[in-house]
Every structure is written in C-alpha cells, then in structure tokens.
Structure 1
Amino acid sequence: MNRLTEHLIVISFDCLSTLDFPIIEKLPNFQELLKNGSHCKHVETIYPSVTYPCHATIVTGNFPKRHGITSNTFIQPGEPSPDWYWHRRHVKGTTLYDEAKKAGMTTAALLWPVTAKAKIDYNMPEIFANRPWHHQIPVSLNNGSVFYQIEMNRLFGHLRKGYSQPELDNFVLESTVHTIKTKKPNLMLIHFVDLDSQRHYHGFSSEEAMAALKRHDDRLGRIVTALKESGIYEQSTIIALGDHSALDEGKAIKLNVLLREHGLINVNAKEKVTDWKAYCKSCDGSSYIYLKDRNDEATKALVKKLLHNLVQDENNGIEKFISGEEAGKKGADPTCAFMLEARHGFYFHERLHGDFIDQVTAKDVKEGRYTVATHGYSPEKENYTTVLMAAGRGISKGKVISSMHLVDEGPTFAKLLGLNLGETDGNVVEELLVL
C-alpha cells in the first residue's frame, strides 16, 4: 500500500469533547493545528464509552464486542479495586502498532491503554500496582520496555507525584519530547489524562478542567516544537483526538445492593463475596449485568422484573435497560444478560452495601469514593461526541468532516502508514487524506 507519511504522532487527550471545541479553537497551538489541517467536531464514540474500550477501538477499528475490551476492568465481584484490561493479550485481532512493527517501523507508546507486554519498541504502558504486595516500579518495568522506562524515569521521574495530575502528564510530555528527539519513531501513541482527571473530581466545566485544556494546548505546542527540532516535522502527521465526552453527575446507583437483598449475591461476615448469581459490572454511565450461569433463566427473569420496576421511577436513576443481544448490536458485550443506561445526574457503582442510591458529597470525592463527572454513557446521549484534528503529511488542508465514528480512526491511521488492519468495523475517512 502507498505510504502517506513517515511519522504518525497520535495524541489522545482523554475526555476531550465536542463541547470543548469553542475553547480549544482559540488556543494558539490547537488553532495552528486546525489552520494547517482538517478536523471533525462530531466523532461518535462507542458503547460503553470508557477509556480502555475506546483506546482499543482507536487502534483496531473495531467495536468492543470484536476486540474484546468490553469494559475498563474485569468482572471480579466484591473486589474494591478490580484489575484492568492492561495487557495486549486481551485484544483480539491485530492493532495499528502490531502492523507497524511487522512492516519494520519503529513504534513507541506512552501510557496508551491495553499495551502492557505489547511488541512496541519503546513502551511505557499504562498499568499500576493494584494490590498491597505490588510495587509500581517492577510492575511497570515488567510490562513494558525495561531500559527505555529506566531512562525516562531517570531523566524525568522527579516530575511525577504518583498518579496525580497534572504531574503525571508533565512526566509523559517530557518523555514524549525526549523520545521524538532521540528515537524518531514512525508511530507514536501518547495518552494524556489530565483533563479526564480534573473533570472526574471537579466537574465537566470546572475551572480545573479549563486549566487542563490550556495545559494540553501547551503540551501540543511542545510536541510540535520537538518534531521541528528533530528535523522530522515535514515528514510527520499529527493527530489530536478525544476518546469520549463526559457528563456531570451527583448520585451513585448501587444496583448490587439490591441484587444482594434479593439473594443474588452472597457475602460472609467480612463482607467478602462468597457466591453470586447476578452482578452489576459498572461502566460508570452505563453498566452490564452478568449472570454467573448464562443459562439461569430464573435469575434472569427475576433481574428483568427488578429492572422493569426500577425504570418506572426516575429517582432510581436508570433511564433504560436492554438485552445482551441488543447490547451486542450496539457494539458492546453480547454475553451480558442486560445493559443499563443511567439518567443524567446518575452513574453506576459496584458497592455492595449501604443505600441503593448515594448522594455524592465533597468528602466522598476528596477521599476517592465517588466522582462528580464521568463517562461510559451511550453515544446516543445529546452533546456527547468527541473530536479529531489532523495536520501534516498526507492530510488534506481545510476540510471539515461533518461526522465520523471512533471505529473509523484505526483504518484511517493505517492508511496513512501504508498498512492494512484487515476487515474492520470502521472505514477509511478518505476526505481527510491526500491520496
């Protein structure tokens, strides 16, 4: 296939929304990117619209039901901090970075989700120590490029303060700049989380979120400058994108409390789950309900009756529920029994005890129990699209794409690099490209 660019830099600004466009188009570096390239202000996300499924979709061009990353975390009933889909092995089929590597290209990824133990030349995967006996340094080193990560930590590790933002993104930025200048990768995937974090803990339109947008503009500028200083700017393509939007919320729905009351979840004296028949797996603005035995029709009928009663009262926070088959048609996990959508102002939590609905307080947020804005909602929610901006080698100038889908990004990026992801759910957005 004809290769349109030598260096593809994909920058994911987690939680960048269409609603942010009037702000970022006035910021100097985003403005420059928009002036020199083309963009789409209305990119439809996937269901559930959470970070790990979204980023797997971006690099595969497929919906979650095909690539297998159907949620951020595993089904681990009662576990206060379930493990995440960190590893490449969980992704079904090929990816953009796999195909680039096969073609002999140099690849790099910085905190890109679902890349632990991936065959990426310079890989700093997003993975964290999730158990008391784990330590962050060996966990990171064991799952990415050892010497590369040691070098980045030696040079820039002092910038980090654990997972806190904006310090973590500042570390990622300096590592990105250094990698561009010293490695000149053909494909680089970068994931910034500052905006997403500020929205979770301060609100969608908070001052903290607006400050994060300005920091992202500065980060974009630093990356462009690094490309110019390294001498590869003219041979490069820059993509800046979001994965999903977010909505403010203030009430947490704890459906597992109800399932427990009806004998569908059993716990011991220490509140540990000993057995279960049905479980609510939160995807924040949406949730799955899984049956331990998918053929347990009695439990399925009981859960369906409970849900039917709940949606009658809007104070319960559940907008609607659909079957697993219907969820599959929307690209989500068809193996679930049901998929639920939260109303505006609500989101789902997996806690097993307390009241069915919790009002989120400032103390809850400060202590990390709950958030005040989140995602995971249906793409059908109003004003819930994300964005894509592209400029540089192989990109048309001045084109405004009226709408596209997140699944279209992978095939389009593959086309830029002269690669083929095979049969995908998405299509190449040829209007963006100079073919």
Structure 2
Amino acid sequence: MSRLTNHLIVISFDCLSALDFPTLQELPNFSKLLKNASYCKNVETIYPSVTYPCHATIVTGNYPRKHGIINNTFLQPGRLSPDWYWHRRHVKGTTLYDEAKKTGMKTAALLWPVTAKAKIDYNMPEIFANRPWHNQILVSLFNGSPFYQLDMNRRYGHIRKGLNQPELDDFVLASAVQTIKTRKPNLMLIHFTDLDTQRHYHGFSSEEAMAALKRHDDRLGRIIHALKESGIYENSTLIALGDHSALDESKAVKLNVLLRKAGLIQVKKNGKVTDWKAYCKSCDGSAYIYLKDKSDSATKKSLKTLLTKLMQDKQNGIERVLTSDEAREKGADEKAAFMIEAQLGYYFKEQLDGEFIDEIHEEDVREKKYTFASHGYSPEKKNYSTVFIATGQGIQRNKIIPKIHLVDEGPTFARLLGLSLGNTEGRVIKELLKV
C-alpha cells in the first residue's frame, strides 16, 4: 500500500467541541488552517466519552469493548486516586504507532494517553506519580524514552509547574517544536489538555476556557512554523482534532452512598472498603455498575429494582439504565452489570459518604472535590460532537464531510502512512484522501 504522506502530525486538543468551531474560524492560525483544509464539525465520539478510551480509539480504530481501554481509571473500590490505564500493554490489538514502527518509521508521542512503555522512538507518556513515594520525573523517565525526556526536561523543564495548566501544555509545545526540528518524525502524536482542564474547573463557556482556545491557536501556529522551519511542511499532513465535548453540571450523584446503605459495600471506620457486592464506577457523565460476583443474581435483581425506582424521579439525576448487552452494543464494557447515563446538569462520583445528591459549590471545585463541567456522556446527547480538521499531503482541499465517527480516524491515519490496522470497527474516510 502506497504512502500518501511522509510526515503525519496529529494534534489532539482535548475537549475541543463542535460548538467551538465558530470561534476557531475567527482565530488567526485555525482560520488559516481551515482555508485549505478539509474538515468535519460533526464527529461522533465513543461511549464512555472520556479521554483514555477516546485516545485508544483514535490509534486503533476500535471501540473500547474491543481495544480494552473501557475507562480512564481501573476498578479499585474505595480508592481515592485509582490507577489509570497508563500503559500500552492494556491496549488489545495493534496501534497506529506499532504499525509505523514495524516499517521503520520514526515515531514520537507527547503526553498521548495509554503509551507508557510503548515502543515509540521519542516517547513522553502521560503518566503521573500516584503513590506518596513516587517521583514524577522518575515515573515519566522509566515509562518513556529516558534520554529524549531528559533532553526535553533539561531544555524546557523550567516552563512546567507540576501538572498545572497552561504551563504543562506550554512545556509539551516547546518539546514538540524541538522534536519536529531535530527529529522530523514520520508519525507524531501530541496531546494538549489545557482546554479540558479549564472547562472542568471553570465551566464549558467560561472566560478561562475561551482563553485556552486562544492559547491553543498560538500552539497550532508554533507547530506549523516549526514544520516550515524544519523543511518538512510541504511533505506533511497536519491533523487537528478533538476527542469529546463537555457539558456543564451543578449536581454530583453518588450512587455508592446508597449501595453502602443497602449493605452492598462494606467500609471500615477509616473509610477503607473491606468488601463489596456491587460498586458504581464513575465515567463522569456515565457510570458502570459492577458486581464482584457476576453470578450474584440476587444482588443484580436488587440493583435493577433500585435503579428503576431512582429513574422515576429526574431529581435523582439518572437518565437511562443500560444492561450489559446494551452497553456492549454502544461499544462500552460488557462486563459491567449495568451502565447508567446522567441527566443534563448531573454527573457521577464514587464517594461512599455524604448525601446521595450533592450541590456543586465554588469551594468544592477550588478544592478539586467536584468540577463544573465534564464528559463521559453518551454521544447521543445534543450538542456533544467534536471536530476533525485535516490539511496537507494526501488530503483533498476544502472538503466538508457531514459526519464521521471517532473510530474512523485511526484507519484513515493508517492509510495516509501506507499502513493497515487490520479489521477495525472504523472505516477509512476515503472522501478525505487524494488517492
């Protein structure tokens, strides 16, 4: 299969929404990009629409049920900070960067989710120190490309302020620019989270979110300039995309509070979970409900009764209850006994104490107990699609594609590089390509 491009640069602007498109058209660098680009402003995301499953979908062309990244974090009942699906080993099947590496292409990934320990030439994985005795820099070095990361940290580490935004994205940008100029990778995956962070803690349409969009425009401009300066711009394909949108919320639903009261979760006085029969695992706008023993029909029956009763009153925040089969049909984890979808204005948390429904206040958000906006909701929610913009080598000019799905992106990227991801659940967006 012939290659359509020599360099594929994929920039993921986490939480970029179709609702942002009019703003993008007014920003200097995005508007320049759009003049010659083809795009879709109606990209349907996956379920649950959270970051790690989304990014695994983008590089595999498959739904979470197939690639195995069914949530951001693991099912670890009662743990305040569960571990994330950081590592490549959790992804089932092949990925875009695996296939590129097999053919000898140079690969780079900067804070791309689920790439820890991946076989990527220049790898700065998204992973953080999740134990009191862990050191952030050592955790990153151990799970990515150590000499490459040491070089980037030596040059640009002063920019960063831990995991705080916008400094973290500014560090990623500086590293990306340097990598383009000095390494000229054939495949580069860049993940920016500034916008996502601002929306979580300030709201979807907040001034802070709008300021992040402007910073992203500057970042896009810097990357385009680096491609031109390095002499590879004419032989490159540039992709700017979002993974999901977000919705504002004012109430947190804590189903585990009711499960604990019903005796389905056992907790010590210090708050540690000692045993459980059923547990609500949050995906923010949706949640999985797992049984410890899948054959526990009595607990499953009582759960169904409880959920049916809760759904009858909209004040409880549950819009829909899905069976495991219905969750699988939507691409989610079929191992869950149930999956629940939040009403507009609500999202799910895993806390075991307090009220079942909590009003979200400013001080709670400042303390990072709750957020003002989140994702994870069903792609069927209104005004919830994301965007896809492509320009450069191998791409048709000024094609407006009415609708695509997140699973279509990986197979399309593979085709641009003359690769195949095998039997994917997504399709190659042929109408986008110059073949």
After TM superposition, list the pairs within 5 Å mapping 1:114-129 onto structure 2: 114-129=114-129
SS in 1 for 2:339: strand
Q: Which residue of 1 aligns with 2:168?
A: 168
SS in 1 for 2:425: coil
Q: Which residue of 2 aligns with 1:416?
A: 416
SS in 1 for 2:353: coil
C-alpha distance in structure 2 between counterparts of 1:45 and 1:299, whole Å? 32
Paired amino acid for 2:261: E
C-alpha distance in structure 2 between counterparts of 1:412 and 1:35, whole Å? 21
- How far off its partner does 1:137 sit? 1.1
Matched, 1:368 2:368: yes
Structure 2, unaligned runs of 5 or more: none
Query: Percent of counterpart pairs with the same letter?
Result: 73
C-alpha distance in structure 2 between counterparts of 1:368 and 1:296, whole Å? 36
After TM superposition, list the pairs within 5 Å mapping 1:281-320 onto structure 2: 281-320=281-320
- How far off its partner does 1:29 sit? 0.8
C-alpha distance in structure 2 between counterparts of 1:75 and 1:250, whole Å? 25
Matched, 1:325 2:338: no
> What is the RMSD computed on CA atoms of the aligned residues?
0.4
C-alpha distance in structure 2 between counterparts of 1:391 and 1:92, whole Å? 30
- How far off its partner does 1:411 sit? 0.2
Q: Which residue of 2 aligns with 1:109?
A: 109
Q: Which residue of 2 aligns with 1:258?
A: 258
Q: Which residue of 2 aligns with 1:4?
A: 4
- How far off its partner does 1:187 sit? 0.1
Q: Which residue of 2 aligns with 1:158?
A: 158
After TM superposition, list the pairs within 5 Å mapping 1:16-415 onto structure 2: 16-415=16-415
Question: Relative to structure 2, which stretch is displaced further, 338-347 or 30-39?
Answer: 30-39
> What are the superposed Cα offsets for residues 267-303 of structure 1, whole Å, 9 maximum, x if unpaired?
1121100000000000000000000001100000001
Question: Relative to structure 2, which stretch is displaced further, 301-310 or 24-33?
Answer: 24-33
SS in 2 for 1:400: coil
C-alpha distance in structure 1 between counterparts of 2:376 and 2:322, whole Å? 15
SS in 1 for 2:10: strand
SS in 2 for 1:215: helix
C-alpha distance in structure 1 between counterparts of 2:182 and 2:219, whole Å? 18
> What are the superposed Cα offsets for residues 338-379 of structure 1, whole Å, 9 maximum, x if unpaired?
000000000000000000011111111001110000000000
Give the count of matched residue pairs. 435
Which aligned runs of 4 or more in structure 1 are off by greater than 4 angstroms?
none
> What are the superposed Cα offsets for residues 185-226 of structure 1, whole Å, 9 maximum, x if unpaired?
000000000000000000000000000001000000000000
- How far off its partner does 1:428 sit? 0.2
C-alpha distance in structure 1 between counterparts of 2:171 and 2:259, whole Å? 43
TM-score calculated relative to the size of structure 1:
1.00
Paired amino acid for 1:280: C
Structure 1, unaligned runs of 5 or more: none
C-alpha distance in structure 2 between counterparts of 1:257 and 1:148, whole Å? 46
C-alpha distance in structure 1 between counterparts of 2:296 and 2:98, whole Å? 40
> What are the superposed Cα offsets for residues 17-76 of structure 1, whole Å, 9 maximum, x if unpaired?
000000001111111111111000000000000000000000000000000000000000
Paired amino acid for 2:95: T
TM-score calculated relative to the size of structure 2:
1.00
